[in-house]
Amino acid sequence: MKLLSKSKIQKLIRTAKRVGLHAYAPYSGFKVGAAVLTSDGHTYGGCNVENVSYGATCCAERTALYKAVSEGKKKFLAIAVVANDKKRPIPCGICRQVLWELAGDLEVVLIRGSDYEVFPLSQIYPQPFQKQKSL
């Protein structure tokens, strides 16, 4: 896996932090921002949007990825995730699966304060569901 340059990581972090400010999290208070980097160099940001019916909530990671897909993007290099919490934010299981299916083994930048760590998605989601061949 090709590692991102520090400047690309910093751009993703800035975008994730900026869009995270727009999170709608009146129930959990857990505001999350994410930014996805496409293979052609575009960056798309997204925040979490909660709903009183928790199943209708959309996480920041999916919001960012869906925005990119809705603009015709199909190849992704990385996603950065930041939250208003002291712990390192880890994408939920649903987000990991959606990331795997739409983006493959991209780099995941997890931001805590001014520090960050980079992981391949396969390290934090080692056994994803795979597309089934039709019978």
CB atoms within 10 A of CB 73: 19
Inside any domain, residue 135 = no
pLDDT per residue as tens digits for the range 67-107: 999 999 999 999 999 999 888 999 999 999 999 999 999 99
Residue 15 belongs to some domain of the structure: yes
Question: Do residues 31 and 83 touch, judged by C-beta distance below 8 A?
Answer: yes
3-class secondary structure, 43 = strand
Span 11-28, pLDDT tens digits: 999 999 999 999 999 999
| Inside any domain, residue 119 | yes
- Which pLDDT score, from 0 to 100, does residue 132 have? 76
Decide if 130 is inside a domain.
no
CATH code where residue 68 lies: 3.40.140.10
- Alpha helices (runs of H) in 21-72, residue ranges in sequence order: 60-70
Residue 133 lies in a domain: no
Domain contains 31:
yes
**Domain assignment present for 129:** no
Residues labelled catalytic: 61
**How high is the pLDDT of residue 135?**
63
Q: Domain residues for 16? A: 6-124
- Would you say the pTM of this structure is higher than 0.85? yes
Domain count for the chain: 1
Please write the tens of the pLDDT for every residue from 29-79.
Answer: 999 999 999 999 999 999 999 999 999 999 999 999 999 999 999 999 999
Q: Judge whether 111 lies within some domain.
A: yes
Rg of the chain taking only CA atoms, in angstroms: 14
35 in Cβ contact with 79 (< 8 Å): yes
